[in-house]
Amino acid sequence: MDVHRGPARRRPDAGTGALGGLPAVRVGSPVHLRPLTHDDVPVLASWADDVELCREAGWSTGLARERHVAFWRGVVDAPPPELLRLGAVSEGALVGYVDLHGLGPARRELGVLIGVRARWGDGLGRQAAAAALDHGFGALGLTEVWAEALDANGRSVRLLRRLGMRETGRGGEEDFLGRPSFYRQFTVTSAEWRRSS
Alpha-carbon span 144 to 134, nearest angstrom: 12
CA-based nearest residue to 29, from 134, 150, 154, 111 = 134
Per residue in 46-83, pLDDT (tens digit) is 999 999 999 999 898 889 999 999 999 999 999 999 99
How would you write the pLDDT of the chain (197 residues) with one tens digit per residue? 434 333 333 333 333 333 333 444 444 458 999 999 999 999 999 999 999 999 999 898 889 999 999 999 999 999 999 999 999 999 999 999 999 999 999 999 999 999 999 999 999 999 999 999 999 999 999 999 999 999 999 999 999 999 999 999 999 999 999 999 999 999 999 999 999 87
Taking the model in full, what pTM does it have? Answer: 0.85
